Structure 1
Amino acid sequence: MTIELTRPYSPEKHHSHRDVTGGWLRPAVFGAMDGLVSNFALIAGVVGAAGAGRGAVLAGFAGLVAGACSMAAGEYTSVKSQTELMRAEIAVERRELARNPEGELAELAALYQARGLDPALAHRVAQGLSADPEQALRVHVREELGVDPDDLPSPYVAAGSSFCAFAAGALVPLAPFLFGASGLAVALVMSVLGLFGFGATVARMTARPWWLGGLRQLVLGVGAASVTFGLGHLLGVAVS
């Protein structure tokens, strides 16, 4: 008995994934949030102590430049150190493959066997992957270190994205004072909208409810600014 297909077979269309290892999202999100929150908190503290004016502008601009440079330097150093450590461990694996290829093949076969393949099939798979030394290195690095040797994070990407994101975030509460604002109200409104909007955007990128991400970031940012504004107001009163 034969079964006739009622419609022609078409190959499956595989879904695609976004880049989650490029090294730009974490520093960009952290930089933008840190820039907006820290600079708004700094400006709020200055306004609370001395009122709006030239001091608030100078403080906000200094916070923008210093924070952006600090974030970029910190991200570059941390990602560079992480990448150097990865490269050092990859070099260790390369030397071990050259020194003891049989032992590394057995190690790879045991790994696949632990994942459910029968011993004979696991050994054949390991042999096939180990035929090319460079391919064998990639496989061992991915399996043992959990990193892709061809896609290590770039310290330049991390530093650049962090610098730009921090500067963009820090500019939000500073912009009203650059255009002559005489109080904290406009900066507060812009910062609230910026906090909620950026939090919502990041939440959408990470498949989270947009309103939850926006509210979470809004609460954190307003809380930090409230503390510094209160301290600035108390110190200003005490000094006067």
Structure 2
Amino acid sequence: MDGLVSNFALIAGIAGGQASQKVVLLAGLAGLAAGAFSMAAGEYISVASQSELARAEIEVERLELARHPVAEERELAEVFEARGVDPATAAEVARQLSRDPAEALEVHSREELGVSPSDLPSPLLAAGSSFLSFAIGALLPVLPYLLGGTSLWPAAGIAALGLFLAGALVSRVTTRAWWYGGLRQLAFGAAAAAITYGVGALIGTNGL
């Protein structure tokens, strides 16, 4: 939806300035590339930073387990007790888990830090998925121009359909009706495109 809204708004603004079909197409393709690479880079940095922070916290936990095994075992038992396990059973479970350093680190990290050393997010996967999803959305309003179109209306129709369908799909994981989610996404996307079109028309009219 980010790619669809931002690139259609960009195309609408350029078209509003009475630009030629080639200029609108160039702007749409440039917006697709710039947005997709920007999203991928931002997502990579964000997820990589989160993973590096998690690894640093896990390493602190690893050192604590090596230096203070008894205290860490008791701490784990208290976690189980807080969840309703009786003290004797909690102590026994903690003792058995603490016999394996790798398993102990896994449990401590998951219970205390909310992360798993064996299941940290991949920056490359996050970047790739962001790149592809943005590019797919951004490509939709460009398609009519790639096929030789010279008017904004075909791009607007495809963008409107894409916005509605995307909003309707998102509503499947919420309590909203599919038509409400679709219309809401369509309304916000159309508003962004209309405002940008107006800015482009104003600048184009004044010859700036």
1:198 equivalent in alignment to 2:166:
yes
**Partner residue, 1:159:** 127
1:239 equivalent in alignment to 2:204:
no
Distance 2:169 2:143 in 1: 21
1:73-84 equivalences in 2 (<5 Å): 73-84=41-52
Which one has a larger percent helix, Structure 1 or Structure 2? 2
- The C-alpha deviation readout for 1:84-141, integer Å capped at 9, x for no partner, is 1111111111111011000101111111112222222221121122121111111000
Q: Which amino acid aligns with 1:190?
A: I
Shift of 1:172: 0.4
Q: Alignment RMSD, CA only?
A: 1.5
Shift of 1:236: 1.4
Unaligned runs of 5+ residues in structure 1 are 1-32
Q: Which amino acid aligns with 1:129?
A: L
Distance 1:228 1:238 in 2: 15
The DSSP-based 3-state class of the residue aligned with 1:111 is helix
Distance 2:119 2:88 in 1: 32
1:4-23 equivalences in 2 (<5 Å): none
Q: TM-score, normalised by structure 1?
A: 0.82
**Partner residue, 1:21:** none
Q: Which amino acid aligns with 2:109?
A: V
1:36-115 equivalences in 2 (<5 Å): 36-115=4-83
Q: Which amino acid aligns with 1:82?
A: Q
Shift of 1:227: 1.4
Q: Which amino acid aligns with 2:23?
A: G
**Partner residue, 2:136:** 168
Q: Which amino acid aligns with 1:134?
A: A
Distance 1:117 1:220 in 2: 50
Q: TM-score, normalised by structure 2?
A: 0.93
- The C-alpha deviation readout for 1:20-46, integer Å capped at 9, x for no partner, is xxxxxxxxxxxxx11111100000000
* Count of aligned residue pairs for this structure pair: 207
Distance 1:62 1:101 in 2: 57
- 1:117 aligned to 67, 70, 85, which one? 85
Distance 1:173 1:52 in 2: 16
Q: Which runs of 4+ in 1 moved over 6 A?
A: none
**Partner residue, 2:112:** 144
**Partner residue, 1:211:** 179
- 1:221 aligned to 158, 179, 189, which one? 189
Distance 1:152 1:215 in 2: 37
Shift of 1:202: 3.3
Distance 2:80 2:197 in 1: 58
Unaligned runs of 5+ residues in structure 2 are none
Q: Which amino acid aligns with 2:110?
A: R
